[in-house]
Structure 1
């Protein structure tokens, strides 16, 4: 189960680094293609807000990378659970306030990873 947990965490890391890149650097160029219901004239004025959100996603990814680099298995598990919990909560909040799709993109993978981490041996 440890390998499954590591793979799930790595996939969540990649997802959050992608989200960070998207929100911080591609908001105005790719944003209108992804968020077609969002008025095109609002991408430029919301660029700083999106970049701020991207930074938070980068923090989540970095925290999960950190959990994979810790040699002490108990600490690694605790840090992974902490940052996976952050991802889970962010996904639930995003689903409640923005789009239910966020629940499946963020919260479901985080929940699966949490279960895998809890079932893995120290």
Structure 2
């Protein structure tokens, strides 16, 4: 179960590294393709906003990667819980303000990891 938890944390980190790359470097080129329901002329004037948002997604990824590098399991769980919680909340916000699809991509891996963390913590008594 611990290995699955760590894999979900890693998956969530990789997802947010991709989101950060997309928002920082590919907003004007890939944005109109990915968000095809938005007008294409919207992407060029909003690239700075997207890049700023991408930095926040990079921070989420870095926090999750940091949690994977912590050897003390209690602190690893605490840091992972914090950043997984941030990601889950960001997914809820995305689902409410953008569309369900980007929210689901964030909520599912982070939510599953949070559930595994809770179950694992309950079973180990920590």
Q: Is the TM-score greater than 0.5?
A: yes
d(CA) in 1 for partners of 2:86, 2:33: 28
Q: Under a length normalisation based on structure 1, what TM-score does the superposition of the two structures give? A: 0.96
Q: Report the structure, 1 or 2, having the larger helix content.
A: 2
Deviation at 1:103, TM superposition (A): 2.8
- 1:15-70 deviation digits (Å, cap 9, x = unpaired): 00000000000001111110111111111100000001111110000000000001
Q: Relative contact order (C-alpha < 8 Å, sep 6+): which is higher?
A: 1
Task: Please report the TM-score for the alignment, with normalisation by the length of structure 2.
Answer: 0.93
Matched, 1:11 2:4: no
Structure 1: tracts of 5 or more residues without a match: none
Moved over 4 A (4+): none
- RMSD between aligned residues: 1.0
Alignment check: 8 A CA contact 1:92 1:102 kept: no
Residue pairs, 1:64-75, within 5 angstroms: 64-75=64-75
Match of 1:24 in 2: 24
- Which residues in structure 2 correspond to 1:37-116 (within 5 Å)? 37-116=37-116
